[in-house]
Structure 1
Amino acid sequence: MKLIAERTHLLAALKTVGHLAQKKNPIPLLRHVRLRTVGRLLFVAATDQDAYAEAEIPADVERQGSTTIDADVLQRMVNNFADGSQVYIDAGEALATIKAGRSRYQPPVLPADDFPAMFAPKEKDAARFTLMPEEVKRLLVVPRPAAPKGQADKQQLEGVYLHTSDDDRTLWAAATDGLTFIAADIPAPEGAAKLPKLVEPGEHGAGRPRGLMVPMDAVGHLIKLGENGLEIEADTNVLAARAGLPSSAVKVSYATRLIDNRFPPYERFLPPLEGVSILVEAGAFADAIKRLADMAGNEERPIAIEWEEEGDLSLWLDDHADGIYGTETIDIICRHGVGRFGARAGLILKVVEAGGRGQLEIWFSAERKAARLRNLDDQEMIAVAWLCELRRRPHHGAVFNEEEAA
């Protein structure tokens, strides 16, 4: 293989796919990127066997072929070449000669014959649809904070769950860690109706859950690729996407194996918009919680949220034996009943910030259940935070007595 490629294009390709070639992978070949040429194109690929990415860039190809080079070595090399330079690659059986300007290196190579092939959806009836950039953000960025991270007992939930509504008019994305839940929707694009449907077990085979689970690592990668939109193809086992990077000369194909779908049928457990409620400014509410959590030094510490028939909303740190004590007060726009509940600062912030600024409705019916939050600027989005029991009870008296308050 012998070619010349622009340094800018080659570096963009390496940065896009290279993260999959993990330096600690025990299989040497999987620490490499594969370079292969087809006509006047250079394809740069990497895989960790659960995900596969391949970037396509133009190149001046003198001799067709393929090889593999250590991903970290090649990326550092190209990154250090001068901006605007041309990168010359001549790969042999044991070494590759790589030159740019007056720089010349010879990294070792491995044969590309055993490099894994890219995987793709295999089912004939796979779903195929296109997502615009704003749709990628809504479906993947909005629910992502509710997904668990590094919890051994919730690995099957470490991702974003995609499914269509029963009438196939809406495409939903949801995530939950068991304590928070966030879901966002878009009008279903053409082709999304072929996403897996719920199939009950029968005489002739096992059932199949609806929708699919996209792993968290893949979610992050798809968000980055989706700046110019995504072409999606998905079946029950694999989701593949194709995108163009901001540099139009670089095109990327990406595929990920999916998590075994065991996402709960969440519609059955969502708290209804009933009980007692308040309407507040989301920004003021979130800022008050952040200040309390910052002074507590711990987002796990419960915050009490209460209001009476008149007056402002009061937020205060529960269990003042656990460090500094403090209160915040914000205006209530509207109220329905009297309320008092507790929530961990980090949990309530996840669901509030997912909805953005604007006016925030909070509904709840009892302690140790769940609160339903709704931003009036985005009433279709669903946000839920599970509540905790407060340690400081009303009969304990005022938060601050008159002397302390003075």
Structure 2
Amino acid sequence: MKISIERAALLKAVAQAQSVVERRNTIPILANVLIEADSDTVTFRATDLDIEVVDRAPAQVERPGATTVNAVTLNEIVRKLPDGALVTLADDGASGRLSIEAGRSHFQLATLPKEDFPVMASSDYETNFSAEAPVLRRLFDKSKFAISTEETRYYLNGVYMHVADGDGSKVLRCVATDGHRLARIDAALPDGADGMAGVIVPRKTVAELRKLLDDDETQIAVSVSETKIRFATQDITLTSKVIDGTFPDYSRVIPTGNTRKLEVDAADFARAVDRVATVSSERSRAVKMQLDEDRLILSVNAPDSGNAEEELAVAYADEKIEIGFNAKYLKDIADQVDRENAIFLFNGSGDPALMREGSDESAIYVVMPMRV
């Protein structure tokens, strides 16, 4: 194999591949990226056996072929090469080395046989549809903060993507929860998605998918089966196993009887929560909200370190209420608000609170209270 490729195109492809590779693994080939050159295209493939990413880039292919090389090392080399460099990758197939040349720089990296590289088995995808990048970006960006990190509750370690009944029509919905807070985000149902089985997209896959969604003009081809999900652009294909588990009935924890309504500037609220939480102990991070007519007092009382209080002008016309929340959970939820105002709906001091973005009910958030 011998190819010449622009440094920028090579870096983009290798960076995407190396981020999938697990740094610590017992199978040496999994630390490598499979490089395949043919015609005028070079393909970079990496996997951790649960996720596979394939990135295609244009190249001058002098000698077709394939080899595997350490993904992290290759990425570091390419990252440190000068902008605009033309990089030559060459492998004679006999020496067990990949030669990398750019200007006066020359490297040789050990290779492993391409035959040893595991390729994720293809799947029969029952559902295939296309979605615009901004739609998927909103669904996953606004829900991923609530993904659980508890490995014992593995079925919560991802975003549950499924078709649901919305307000008068079916919607594509993403839900995440860790038992303390919940995010439920809806989007219009794309053509062809109607029969999709609900799948739990793992946390790592959500992070890798985000890199495909930066360009607002990109269309993402989505394919779903019971065991796998695939996201594809013109240049990149991301395939992942889905979590083999049953997502809980989240509708049971979304309150429907909360009538005490608070309207507050979302950015001001998030900053105020962050400020008063500075004095709280790291373990609990509890913030008390005291609501009275058009007034909100946020306070923290940490006997070991001090106390803090901040008052905000708000729109509130219901009975007085005092309720406590984990400061990080409150701030995480407030940070999701794209609109100017956040609307909180409360019931009692021991009941979960509901939040939405202004009058938009396509995104709702639930946070459980704390004793303060």
TM-score of the pair, normalised by structure 2: 0.92
Q: Retained in 2: the 8 A contact 1:303–1:343?
A: yes
CA offsets, 1:67-113, max 9 Å, x none?
11111222222223332222222212322222222222222211101
Deviation at 1:174, TM superposition (A): 0.9
Secondary structure of the equivalent of 2:61?
strand
* Equivalent pairs, count: 365
Q: Retained in 2: the 8 A contact 1:139–1:172?
A: yes
Question: Which deviates the most, 356-365 or 346-355?
Answer: 356-365
Secondary structure of the equivalent of 1:307?
strand
Report the counterpart of residue 216 of structure 1 in structure 2: 203
Secondary structure of the equivalent of 1:165?
strand
* Aligned: 1:359 with 2:341: yes
Deviation at 1:175, TM superposition (A): 0.5
Distance 1:360 1:23, change over 3 A: closer
TM-score of the pair, normalised by structure 1: 0.85
* Aligned: 1:156 with 2:155: yes
Q: Retained in 1: the 8 A contact 2:155–2:245?
A: yes
Report the counterpart of residue 298 of structure 2 in structure 1: 315
Distance 1:311 1:60, change over 3 A: closer
Q: Determine the C-alpha separation between the residues in 2 that align with 1:332 and 1:15.
A: 46
Q: Which has the higher strand share?
A: 2
Q: Retained in 2: the 8 A contact 1:54–1:252?
A: yes
Q: Determine the C-alpha separation between the residues in 1 that align with 2:28 and 2:282.
A: 42
Distance 1:73 1:362, change over 3 A: closer
Distance 1:3 1:278, change over 3 A: closer
Q: Which amino acid in the other structure matches residue 276 of structure 1? A: R
Deviation at 1:278, TM superposition (A): 2.2
Report the counterpart of residue 241 of structure 1 in structure 2: 231
Q: Which amino acid in the other structure matches residue 6 of structure 1? A: E
Q: Determine the C-alpha separation between the residues in 2 that align with 1:212 and 1:343.
A: 30
Report the counterpart of residue 98 of structure 1 in structure 2: 100
Q: Retained in 1: the 8 A contact 2:279–2:300?
A: no
Q: Determine the C-alpha separation between the residues in 2 that align with 1:282 and 1:347.
A: 14
Deviation at 1:349, TM superposition (A): 1.6
Q: Retained in 2: the 8 A contact 1:148–1:157?
A: yes
Report the counterpart of residue 402 of structure 1 in structure 2: none
CA offsets, 1:172-206, max 9 Å, x none?
1111000000111110111221211xxxxxxxxxx
Give the % identical residues.
27
Deviation at 1:31, TM superposition (A): 0.9
Q: Retained in 2: the 8 A contact 1:355–1:381?
A: no
From 240, 252, 266, the counterpart of 1:282 = 266
Report the counterpart of residue 271 of structure 1 in structure 2: 255
Deviation at 1:236, TM superposition (A): 1.3
Q: Which amino acid in the other structure matches residue 70 of structure 1? A: N
* Aligned: 1:36 with 2:26: no
Distance 1:97 1:360, change over 3 A: closer
Report the counterpart of residue 276 of structure 2 in structure 1: 292
Report the counterpart of residue 145 of structure 1 in structure 2: 145
Deviation at 1:297, TM superposition (A): 5.3
Could you tell me which runs of 5 or more consecutive residues in structure 1 were left unpaired when the two chains were aligned: 197-210, 245-250, 391-406
Distance 1:358 1:80, change over 3 A: closer
Secondary structure of the equivalent of 1:325?
strand
Q: Retained in 1: the 8 A contact 2:257–2:347?
A: no
Q: Which amino acid in the other structure matches residue 366 of structure 1? A: G
Report the counterpart of residue 331 of structure 1 in structure 2: 313
Q: Retained in 2: the 8 A contact 1:120–1:240?
A: no
Q: Retained in 2: the 8 A contact 1:97–1:107?
A: yes
Greater CA radius of gyration, 1 or 2? 1
